[in-house]
Amino acid sequence: MKYLLLFLILISNISWAQLINTVELNEKLNVTSEAEAKKELLHLATLKSFEKAIPELGYSFDEFQEKLKILFADYFNNYKDQKIVEKFGAKYKESLSKTEINAFFTTLENDKHTLLVGFSRTSEVLRSYSFALIKQNEKDPYTWATKVHVDIDKNKLGRLLNKIIKGESKPIGKIILMTEIEPQDFTWQDLGLENEKIFINPLNKSWLKWFNENLPSTVEEVVGCESDCMNFFRKWSESHLDEISIPEEFRNAVFLVVNLKVKRTVVLENLQETDFKWEGRTLLHDLTTKRVVGSFPLPIEKRTFRRLDQKALNSGIISSLYRSPLTSFMQFKKTLEQKSGFNRVSKLVLKGYKHLGDVLQLNELLKTRGTSLGLEIVLQTFSKDESNLLCFYQGEEKSFTHILSGIKEVKLTHGYTLVNEFTGIHHVIKFVTE
């Protein structure tokens, strides 16, 4: 009886945490390739499952759709503004006519549906899915029939509903874990492995488990970085903030990069002995602002493995590497819990000053005025003609521009008047001698 009760409790917990549903659809889409059709059909099947699950969580599916529509409209308007600045610069209104601006915005309408699918974050609440059937209509290649099994995580769905309907969210949407291992003096084939993924995946799985058990209170979830994510990270790393659009799934996220250099130092085949040593660094990047939130060096460690077969040797190396960054993870956990995060970054260009002292004085003035926004300022470049400041803050941009407007008439020690010009995502302040 005791075991039966335990079994029923486990089944009850599983049924609450997940919803397995089979959805059959017959839809006319805008695509003819099976790969693209699957993406769209999975999204529609997930929404169909939402329609059933959302009332069970005490919400209305219609309200979810309406709130999602309103939020996406704001997001898409910001997306269009960002794209036109990326292509034509912050002063595009001076170089383009209204007709040209509207024509450019019209081309972006082609992105709208794809962006909506990403913005809705339907794929993020799925535990798993499988297509039992997908069939293209012989007479109409745009019509598809499908039967999809979807497994929805109700806890993640609940968080999504709180965010969309109630507007509730934690400051940091997710930690995205990315592991980089550089083998030195050996190859993955030397370990009997086809590629690095076979080695890295168990490490990532263990580290994700650690974070899920020690999730910072300011973070909604932690996920691994797959191939599409890694492609975005490379592009993001090589671009300036005003040159790249951050997809919805990466907004309010931080990248946690674990970088390790692993070297095989000695191999004594007759004694069945192998020595490895490793060192590295962990970095925590804020995606929105490109700030390094945390950096932690991993000191050199060494270990000798004796009389182990290949599988046991690989497991031993992985276990040893697993422990290396845990101290940094604890430090990052504290850092993320102490900071509510920045959701905005603006570039401030200063001109007309006489020397560095003027720039530093204005810097301090801005930080004093911007306390309510948690404003932090980094002097990016300084020259005799122009200086660039990066301003990180919380809240809306209009709050930041209000602070800039409020210092227009402030007199500095050398009798300057400050004049600010608003130029899209960049702001210019000129020191004008009276």
In a domain, 2, yes or no: no
Please give the residue that has the higher pLDDT: either 234 or 252: 234
For residue 122, tell me if it sits in a domain: yes
Is residue 5 included in any domain, yes or no? no
For residue 51, what are the domain limits? 14-166
Residue where a domain terminates, one of 321, 338, 355: 338
Last residue of some domain: 318, 338, 358? 338
CATH of the domain at 325: 3.30.160
DSSP state, 247? P
pLDDT > 60? residue 67: yes
- Confidence (pLDDT) at 9: 35
pLDDT score of 289 more than 60:
yes
The total number of structural domains that make up the chain = 3
If asked whether residues 161 and 264 sit together in one domain, one would say no
What CA–CA distance (Å, rounded) separates 289 from 121? 22
296-332, pLDDT tens digit by residue?
999 999 999 988 889 999 999 999 999 999 999 999 9
Judgement on whether residues 25 and 41 belong to the same structural domain of the protein: yes
CATH code for the domain in which residue 412 is found: 3.30.70
Task: Let me know if residue 3 belongs to a domain.
Answer: no
The pTM for the full model equals 0.61
pLDDT at 149: 93
- Taking residues 273-289, report their average pLDDT: 90
Q: What is the pLDDT of residues 131-160, one digit of tens each?
A: 999 999 999 999 999 999 999 988 888 888
Residues 386 and 404 in one domain: yes
- Band of residue 236 on the pLDDT scale cut at 50, 70, 90: confident
Closest by alpha carbon to 404, among 386, 392, 422, 389?
A: 422
Residue 281 banded pLDDT, cuts 50, 70, 90: very high
Domain identity same for 182 and 325: yes
In a domain, 1, yes or no: no
Mean pLDDT of the chain: 83
pLDDT in tens, 241-268: 667 777 777 878 899 999 999 999 888 7
Q: Are residues 381 and 428 in the same domain?
A: yes
Give the dihedral of Cα atoms 215, 220, 225, 231; nearest 10 deg.
-140
Report the Cα 366 to chain-centroid distance in Å. Answer: 29
The encoded tokens of residue 28 equal: 């006319």
Domain boundary pick from 338, 370, 389? 338
pLDDT tier, 42 (very low <50, low <70, confident <90, very high otherwise): very high
**Distance separating alpha carbons of residues 176 and 226, to the nearest angstrom:** 10
Same domain, 329 and 206: yes
